[in-house]
Amino acid sequence: MKIYNSDGKQLVNAEYDDILEVNDILNGMKVISVQSQSDEEYAVFVLEPSTKVTCYIFDEIFIVGKSASFETLVEAIQAWANDEI
């Protein structure tokens, strides 16, 4: 388990080849799923303290998208798969 923080635009103090994994911590929230649709971008789903799910979309260590407050992980993954984020 690794702990990552971001400045809203990129991961802070991370290497370009770092990829978040399940059970890592991102901005104080636990990573519950990581999905990839291509070699370039991947989505990281974290559990908020309110039990809602937030999705971060990364290109290497750069945050290229974010969508917050999904009710379930399934709902968040479907939005990612349908390019709604």
Q: What does the pLDDT look like over 32-62, one tens digit per residue? A: 999 987 777 899 999 999 999 999 999 989 9
| Average pLDDT score, the chain | 92
- CA gap 19, 57 in Å, rounded: 12
Work out the burial of residue 13: count CB atoms within 10 Å of its CB; fewer than 13 is exposed, 13-18 middle, 19 or more buried: exposed
pLDDT tens for residues 5-42? 999 999 999 988 888 999 999 999 999 999 987 777 89
**pLDDT at residue 11, as a whole number:** 95
User: Are the C-beta atoms of 18 and 10 separated by less than 8 Å?
Assistant: no
